[in-house]
Structure 1
Amino acid sequence: MPQIIVLPHVELCPEGAAFEVNTGESICNALLDHDVDIEHACDQVCACTTCHVIIREGFKSLNASSDQEDDLLDKAWGLEPNSRLSCQAVVGTEDIVIEIPKYSINMAKEGHR
């Protein structure tokens, strides 16, 4: 069973986290199921960028991104070459290390630090 390792995020996961997940589960669902309250303003339908994550390890084990996801990622805060929308990134068979960016579009608008 693969594991997701979440690097510390000041507001959402200050201590970081590590947990096992089922292959085929979205990163967003896995985070929410393990009390990492990542934003997902569009309710996980690939219509916003609030669930943006950066895959630090295990990127190649994820499913391929769609054109729609790639277009949305262009608008994401802190975009990097290994960025994904967690609602669209499906866990494969390898462990994944993710970083949740410090800000999302919603966090910047709502005045979070």
Structure 2
Amino acid sequence: MYTITFKFEQKGLEPVTLENIAPGDSLLEIALDHNIELHHNCGAVCACSTCHLYVEKGEEFFPEITDREEDFIDRAINPRLNSRLGCQCMLEKGSGEVVVTLPDQTQFLGE
């Protein structure tokens, strides 16, 4: 089981820590299941960059980034070395601690 902390760049939002999260779901699915807003314009099929996030800790618990995912991250606002797409970060079997930061999603409102 995993402990996942969602941090937010958007001002006024406090971090949310979720415990006892089972493997098998993506960070996008986990966020949405716990009422954490994470945009997902393409429906979670790795065809846009709106579920872009930063993995601060626990990268080893996800599959390696694919060329396709990297291409979409290049189109994201403010990509970093630890950028991933939430729809592609499926928790693998095991347990551990994951910390992610969600970019300020108000910057996407014009898209």
Distance 1:9 1:83 in 2: 14
Task: Report the Cα distance in structure 2 between the residues aligned to 1:104 and 1:84, rounded to whole angstroms.
Answer: 19
Structure 1 runs of 4+ aligned residues shifted over 4 Å read none
Separation (CA, whole Å) in 1 of partners of 2:85 and 2:9: 17
SS where residue 68 of structure 2 aligns?
helix
Q: Normalized against structure 2, the TM-score is what? A: 0.87
Question: In 2, distance between residues paired with 1:99 and 1:34?
Answer: 15
Q: Which has the higher contact order (CA 8 A, sep 6+)?
A: 2
Q: Displacement of 1:9 after TM fit? A: 4.1
Counterpart residue identity of residue 32, structure 1: L
The alignment yields a C-alpha RMSD, in angstroms, of 1.9
1:46 — aligned with what? 46
| Count of aligned residue pairs for this structure pair | 108
Unaligned runs of 5+ residues in structure 1 are none
Higher strand share: 2
Aligned residue number for residue 95 of structure 1: 97
Instruction: For 2:74 and 2:9, locate their aligned partners in 1 and report how far apart those are by CA, in whole Å.
Output: 22
State the one-letter code of the partner of 1:57.
K
Q: What 5-or-longer segments of structure 2 have no aligned partner?
A: none
